[in-house]
Structure 1
């Protein structure tokens, strides 16, 4: 590679050499160029028949709104705006962007300015030369530039950029996880409130059954044992509501903390009656390859692999010579008014090069350590991809299983209700003992409670599916770039050209970024 310096460089030999080195700076970049790993993903899901393909990504961005619950929408908005973990993630991102500026500054000259004045008087007791007075003034500008001939700084900036992108994806993954946890707690609280209502209805029914047993005993149609058994059943049922009330309080406390407040902040709002959350008829689902490209935690893993690969180049560049160009220009004069005259001008220029001859294998070990770190990052990415696909399959299985169970549970609850009504009529007419009433009452309560738990499990399966898809985060960068720094690379800029399409898995086949969810 040639560098033309005839117009820009002085004709002195030292300055010419410096210019040639400056022209060569940036020509060589050691270390491997990053290529995103290509993973063989399954063509479809095992439970794919239970879902409809595709799906509106805008719906997935705010998927919790499908529950049509204004209070839930307020809770999620509050959590995304005030949760402390998100604030911590943003602070880490600001820190990384500041560090990136520090790293990139190594490629630029370092300038300093200095001024000095001194006065001296010689001793009159000396024979030669005789004593006298002297003054000197100095004003100068010093510059030092380390040439990035082998790409050490460029690889370090590349690693810093990838690290920033990983932190952006971490912030998005935290958003998705926070939303899923909040919605799961909210669904659990509403289910606990439903179970509490069922338990209280069961207590009321058992109170009526106890009165019926007492009337039958007084009329000679029942026994004292029936009364005692009915009373014991009612007392046992009365022990369940306090447990459910504790669950409701615990989930309410968790929701208050998740929204960035205190445990009791939402107590009044959560205690108000609310309609049952709708059961989704179907769920949108992407292909496995789309999930890999879209889940923010996997995107963060891929960016960390890119950063680790760039650090191999940083370590390899450390094994090559380092070249530095110190420059100095200034004036010196005995009188301050002569500082800016041509006679006082002085300058210096040099080229310095150095390379370690013996370091006991430190540089070679640094390269080996960087390579091992990149290998580990690649394995982490591949492991997390497989775990993510497993999360989707588990969520689909849980969702479809609960939908199948609910068919039987609903029929069981209806049959138990009819059995209780018939057993109660027979006992009131003196045609049967009290035991059939007790058995029917227990069966009805268990069927209704099991149905409520199944509906909770189904909704939690929905939440788990959206979380496993990586839904619930915003596309926009969570923080603007620090003033004076280069803006971090976005998906749109990464996907420009063939190099972007091959190096960044979020790019589509045509080079456009994956549409916003």
Structure 2
């Protein structure tokens, strides 16, 4: 027993002194991509899962809370995190010796071809602990652990990104739902206005002051609006189906109310000068973790250029027919072993080149992701600002169109105005009001796009 412990302790000390090195490149987070700084590590924005509350919309708050609890894609991403960290823990345990407790009994007759053994029954019993340990002399286990940890961290980042994407999808679909409601309401209001104009034309026709052509022209415009109503209802059903799918519900179960009002911010969004918003981008951080894993895999492949040393041992009892356990039946063994792929170094070098190429691919992907993120963030800001400008201009246009219709209708009703003037004013009012409803929806969706592209890191003023 003492000899076994002495040999085992000596083997552990030798291994610890030799396993301090690891072949392959040590990974460092890229500090810059071209002239873009990337010195900050990934950090989930504090407001990433609460920014929508700035809209103060109870229905939207309820939908997002529901989606975070019930969405199946998000549950899948969370399970993927658990699996990745389980793989990491399993790989990390390879540093430690592995052992098993064994007990076996064996009985045999005619164990050899010798005539003297004919009819001889041999019985034996063994019990004890077996030990095996792969010594990480060149850092193969270390690099494998680094790669597994980076993959687990990437899975965790992707889970956070899945939450940001889910929240954005729910908010966008909610905006589309309210937008479809608003356009439907606008169409119904326009129908009422057209019916009022038609009543005026009909009254003048009966009084001999209008023609059948004027009545037909107003009917054409009325039927055009009526024909657009089914499209708005389809858009409403589509948004409801999308929201239901995101919340893992069947269509038609959502009770969002009939108030067609799009959420609006009470304060504008603000971009902080000098803030490195890249650290909030999960896709960038995910690509960086992939690069870390691919870099570690270079060392994992390089370690096969060198011998692998392992130690096997046994401590227990071996007993013969008497099945007795004691000092006389005590047994131990220590068996160092060395293996080396010396006859297959060409394949090892090929795997190293493959790992290096994979690392270069991951680096290029990471750099491209940074450029994509920078441009997406800038585009989202510009698109929202332009959409707001367009919305404000259309609001003024709608107000002017509404005033023009009132004047044209009064003049036509009094017999001092032309019917074509009324018809053109009605047509322009319909177009501007529907366009305003579309732009209100567009501005909301693009605002959601800002939060998504900035990883939830942008704040209110």
TM-score by length of 2: 0.90
Match of 1:24 in 2: 17
SS at match of 1:238: helix
- Structure 2 Cα separation of the partners of residues 407 and 332 of structure 1: 91
2:441 corresponds to 1:456: yes
Q: 2:90 aligns with which of 102, 108, 118?
A: 102
SS at match of 1:361: helix
Q: 2:376 aligns with which of 391, 396, 399?
A: 391
- Structure 1 Cα separation of the partners of residues 54 and 147 of structure 2: 40
Q: 1:172 aligns with which of 160, 172, 176?
A: 160
SS at match of 2:19: coil
8 Å CA contact retained: 2:170, 2:246: yes
- Structure 2 Cα separation of the partners of residues 131 and 226 of structure 1: 120
SS at match of 1:358: helix
2:282 corresponds to 1:282: no
> Aligned-pair RMSD on alpha carbons?
2.8
Match of 1:501 in 2: none
Superposed displacement of residue 228, structure 1:
1.4
Match of 1:324 in 2: 310
2:70 corresponds to 1:77: no
Q: 2:286 aligns with which of 290, 297, 300?
A: 300
Q: 1:460 to 1:91 in 2, by over 3 A?
A: same
- Structure 2 Cα separation of the partners of residues 148 and 460 of structure 1: 54
Q: What pairs up with 1:248-263 in 2 under 5 angstroms?
A: 248-263=236-251
Match of 2:197 in 1: 209
SS at match of 1:350: strand
Matched residue count: 450
Match of 1:52 in 2: none
- Structure 2 Cα separation of the partners of residues 191 and 15 of structure 1: 74
8 Å CA contact retained: 1:222, 1:433: no
Q: 1:127 to 1:234 in 2, by over 3 A?
A: closer
SS at match of 2:331: strand
Superposed displacement of residue 324, structure 1:
1.0
Superposed displacement of residue 257, structure 1:
1.0
Match of 2:40 in 1: none
Superposed displacement of residue 41, structure 1:
7.7
Match of 1:513 in 2: none
Q: Deviations over 1:82-130 (max 9, x none)?
A: 101011112212221222233223222222333333456679xx98689
Superposed displacement of residue 384, structure 1:
0.8
Q: 1:287 to 1:323 in 2, by over 3 A?
A: farther
Q: 1:186 to 1:331 in 2, by over 3 A?
A: same
Match of 2:137 in 1: 149
Q: 1:442 to 1:20 in 2, by over 3 A?
A: same
Q: 1:192 aligns with which of 180, 185, 189?
A: 180
Q: 1:15 to 1:216 in 2, by over 3 A?
A: closer
Q: 1:419 to 1:147 in 2, by over 3 A?
A: same
TM-score by length of 1: 0.81
Superposed displacement of residue 418, structure 1:
1.5
- Structure 2 gaps, min length 5: 38-44
- Structure 1 Cα separation of the partners of residues 18 and 189 of structure 2: 81
Superposed displacement of residue 198, structure 1:
1.1
SS at match of 1:144: strand
- Structure 2 Cα separation of the partners of residues 210 and 309 of structure 1: 74
Q: Deviations over 1:455-483 (max 9, x none)?
A: 2221111111000001189xxxxxxxxxx
Larger relative helix fraction: 2
The more displaced of 449-458 and 68-77 is 449-458
Match of 1:432 in 2: 417
2:388 corresponds to 1:403: yes
